[in-house]
């Protein structure tokens, strides 16, 4: 069952087979797989639980309730990059755009060759992807629902002869509310909160919400439990109640920012020195176009179509109809100029360009800030700056080909492009990293990377840490590099794979199984209500 912190009136102690920290793309599938295999599973989630009745299309409320730092997490460095992170049951999947792509095959080849991940085969991953796609009702975005922004952009790409199409999405009967990132009000997006978590609950798993894991308990080099603090749902401050969990296996699935932060705070699993390093984020730029005719937002699919002509070079374009609140942030102007343009919102379209990093890198650090506050550093540099500019040029070209008479970018000196001449000027100009304004990123990855060598990686191919037996990491942080596309399906696939290894270990009763976690569950202090 789901146990919110408000129903917890005293300190709790639990003993289970598996304790999972985080309920997102990594934690959710693991919880369902292990609970369905008959193991007792307990999930702790720092955020609260919301349902479609709560998804009221009000962006400010959604950011405050379901995002870490109210959606204003940023990376420090040049440029500052907005990096929103979900904090709710279902993790970031509850507030993501629903694109469900398999990873770009050449990246898997690179992981095998550069990171020694010979055990990760395309055949195995494809089998898991296939299962996930069926379970999550993945199908191509419906052009009838996608909205005119998407069809217009695609028409421009087709005119230029670029490889493009409709994105696969985990959405069943999408009605095109255009608000995936504030929670799907029709319940059609098959995010973890409406799929894996309810299934895990039906197999007996428990999910404690507004409950933050603070320590991983380790004895004799083996993970034996977690120590958590309940939070007040309204203020996010500690409620004064604690949860201590004994477990035969512990899984960290707190995402690529919080997972390394938890480990760094404790100085755990870091003999390689790689915890928190190698942060990739897929930095994204955008281009907004103004048309004479009405394109008809805000109804539509925010991320409906793609242009993958330059995917091999690390540039992927994705977009559709975005709500006015996000559209306004994508304009390079403020005040009156912004207001004048926003009046023309129905005549505008916006598209995004995502860069797979080859030179840029970041890190998550514990800088000793009070509370639970990871610090994120990131530097966009080298050829990635050129790729970001190339993505903007490409989007502008496509918009003009589709009939736009103005394109707005967030590159200093090139805010407003009126046609081919401005476009060529942008193409020829030397754009510096400090010229980019308003960049964002949505895919933090790599901060506890998987690999075949304990000197250079944090987890084995099984997701178990090299240093601490029985401690697994299963979220975006284990992906060794950008997968070249949106990562949720790959994170889920890794979680399904990891569940198999944990199940094997628990079922085989490997050394230590049962020593720390007496079964049946011993529960001191039952929570009130559900
Ligand atoms: C706006 C937006 C749109 C996106 N769109 C797409 C898309 O269309 N397709 C796609 O593939 N990807 C998309 N993504 C990215 C994708 O959703 C994430 O990559 C994925 O969810 C990450 O999975 P994860 O398991 O690493 O972390 P998360 O899904 O973020 O889950 C981690 C969970 O752990 C919890 N947690 C953290 N610390 C603790 C703690 N100490 N104790 C307890 N709980 C804790 C967090 O609250 C969070 O709920 C998008 C992201 C954003 C922000």
Closest residue by Cα to atom 9, ligand 1, is 99
Is 443 one of the catalytic residues? yes
Q: How buried is 240 (Cβ within 10 angstroms: 0-12 exposed, 13-18 middle, 19+ buried)?
A: exposed
> What's the whole-number mean pLDDT along residues 301-315?
96
| Residue 89 near residue 49, CB atoms below 8 Å | yes
Roughly what angle, to the nearest 10 degrees, separates helices 488-508 and 122-135? 100
347: three-class secondary structure by DSSP: helix
pLDDT at 323: 85
pLDDT at 521 over 50: no
Asked whether residue 16 is assigned to any structural domain, the reply reads yes
> What's the whole-number mean pLDDT along residues 158-163?
98
pLDDT tens column, 224-262: 999 999 999 999 999 999 999 999 999 999 999 999 999
- For residues 63 and 194, what is the distance between their CA atoms, to the nearest angstrom? 19
Asked whether residue 177 is assigned to any structural domain, the reply reads no
Read off the CATH number of the domain in which 261 is found: 3.50.50.60
> What's the whole-number mean pLDDT along residues 473-502?
96
pLDDT at 260: 98
Asked whether residue 65 is assigned to any structural domain, the reply reads yes
Q: What are the E-state strand segments in 426-469?
A: 439-440
- What values do phi and psi take at 6, rounded to 5? -65, -20
Pick the range with the lowest mean pLDDT from 53-57, 238-242, 346-350. 53-57
Alpha helices by DSSP H, 67-147: 105-115, 122-135, 143-146
Short-list 53, 65, 35, CA closest to 197 = 35
Short-list 179, 198, 197, 236, CA closest to 55 = 179
- For residues 511 and 530, what is the distance between their CA atoms, to the nearest angstrom? 35
Asked whether residue 488 is assigned to any structural domain, the reply reads yes
**Gyration radius of the chain over CA positions:** 23
pLDDT at 515: 45
Band (514; pLDDT cuts 50, 70, 90): very low
Strand 12-21 to 41-45 pairing: parallel
Band (276; pLDDT cuts 50, 70, 90): very high
Which value, to the nearest 10 degrees, does the dihedral of the CA atoms of residues 12, 239, 207, 228 take? -60
- Tell me the C-alpha to C-alpha distance, in Å, between residue 444 and each of 51, 74, 108, 396: 25, 12, 18, 27
Percent of the chain with pLDDT over 90: 89
pLDDT at 46: 98
Asked whether residue 234 is assigned to any structural domain, the reply reads yes
Q: Which residues neighbour 389 within 8 Å (Cβ) at sequence distance 6 or greater?
A: 411, 426, 431
The whole-model pTM stands at 0.95
> What's the whole-number mean pLDDT along residues 345-363?
95
DSSP type of residue 293: S
| Residue 478 near residue 448, CB atoms below 8 Å | yes
pLDDT at 526 over 70: no
Short-list 294, 297, 295, CA closest to 326 = 297
pLDDT tens column, 170-214: 999 999 998 899 999 999 999 999 999 999 999 999 999 999 999
Asked whether residue 399 is assigned to any structural domain, the reply reads no
> What's the whole-number mean pLDDT along residues 364-388?
94
Q: How far is the CA of 522 from the centre of ligand 1 (A)?
A: 31
Report the pocket of ligand 1 as residue ranges, CB < 6 Å.
21-27, 44-47, 84-88, 91-93, 95-99, 181, 212-213, 253-256, 258, 262, 303, 442-443, 475-476, 486-488, 491
pLDDT tens column, 391-423: 999 999 999 999 999 999 999 999 999 999 999
Asked whether residue 302 is assigned to any structural domain, the reply reads no
For the chain, how many structural domains are there in total? 1
Asked whether residue 380 is assigned to any structural domain, the reply reads no
448: three-class secondary structure by DSSP: coil
pLDDT tens column, 428-441: 999 999 999 889 99
pLDDT at 528 over 50: no
Closest residue by Cα to atom 3, ligand 1, is 96
pLDDT at 530: 33
Please state the atom number of ligand 1 nearest to the C-alpha of residue 485.
11
Domain enclosing residue 35, as ranges = 1-69+88-96+101-135+191-271+448-530
Active-site pick, 39, 49, 414, 443? 443
pLDDT at 524 over 80: no
């Amino acid at each position: 069952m789901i146990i919110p912190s408000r129903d917890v009136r005293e300190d709790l102690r639990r003993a289970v087979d598996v304790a999972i920290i985080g309920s997102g793309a990594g934690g959710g599938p693991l919880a369902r797989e292990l609970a369905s295999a008959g193991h007792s599973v307990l999930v702790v989630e720092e955020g609260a639980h919301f349902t479609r009745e709560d998804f009221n299309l009000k962006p400010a409320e959604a950011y405050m309730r379901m995002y870490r730092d109210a959606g204003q997490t940023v990376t420090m460095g040049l440029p500052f990059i907005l990096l929103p992170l979900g904090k709710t049951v279902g993790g970031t999947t509850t507030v993501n755009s629903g694109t469900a792509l398999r990873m770009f095959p050449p990246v898997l080849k690179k992981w095998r060759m550069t990171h020694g991940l010979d055990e990760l085969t395309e055949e195995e991953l494809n089998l898991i992807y296939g299962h996930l796609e069926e379970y999550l009702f993945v199908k191509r975005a419906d052009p009838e629902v996608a909205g005119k922004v998407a069809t217009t952009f695609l028409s421009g790409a087709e005119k230029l002869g670029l490889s493009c199409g409709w994105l696969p999405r985990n959405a069943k009967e999408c009605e095109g509310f255009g608000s995936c990132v504030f929670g799907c009000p029709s319940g059609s997006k098959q995010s973890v909160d409406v799929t894996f978590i309810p299934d895990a609950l039906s197999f007996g798993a428990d999910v404690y919400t507004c409950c933050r894991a603070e320590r991983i308990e380790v004895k004799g080099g083996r993970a034996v439990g977690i120590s958590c603090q309940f939070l007040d749902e309204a203020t996010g401050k500690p409620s004064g109640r604690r949860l201590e969990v004994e477990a035969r296996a512990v899984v960290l699935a707190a995402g690529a920012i919080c997972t390394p932060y938890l480990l760094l705070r404790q100085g755990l699993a870091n003999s390689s020195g790689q915890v928190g390093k190698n942060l990739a984020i897929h930095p994204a730029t955008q281009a907004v176009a103004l048309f004479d005719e009405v394109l008809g937002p805000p109804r539509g699919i925010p991320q409906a179509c793609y242009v993958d002509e330059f995917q091999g070079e690390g540039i992927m374009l994705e977009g559709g109809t975005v709500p006015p609140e996000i559209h306004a942030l994508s304009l390079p102007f403020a005040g009156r100029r912004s207001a004048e343009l926003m009046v023309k919102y129905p005549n505008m379209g916006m598209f995004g360009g995502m860069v797979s990093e080859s030179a840029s890198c970041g890190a998550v650090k514990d800088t000793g800030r009070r509370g639970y506050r990871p610090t994120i550093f990131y530097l966009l540099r080298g050829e990635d700056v050129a790729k970001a500019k190339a993505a903007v040029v490409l989007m502008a070209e496509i918009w003009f080909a589709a009939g736009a008479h103005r394109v707005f970018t967030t590159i200093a000196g090139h805010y407003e492009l009126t046609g081919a001449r401005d476009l060529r000027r942008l193409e020829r100009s030397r754009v510096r990293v400090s010229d980019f304004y308003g960049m964002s990123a949505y895919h933090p990855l790599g901060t506890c990377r998987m690999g075949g060598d304990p000197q250079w990686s944090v987890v084995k191919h099984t997701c178990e840490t090299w240093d601490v037996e029985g401690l697994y990491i299963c979220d975006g942080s284990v992906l060794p590099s950008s997968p070249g596309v949106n990562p949720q399906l790959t994170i889920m696939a890794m979680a399904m794979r990891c569940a198999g290894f944990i199940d094997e270990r628990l079922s085989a009763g490997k050394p230590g199984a049962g020593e720390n976690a007496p079964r049946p569950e011993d529960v001191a202090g039952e929570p009130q209500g559900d």
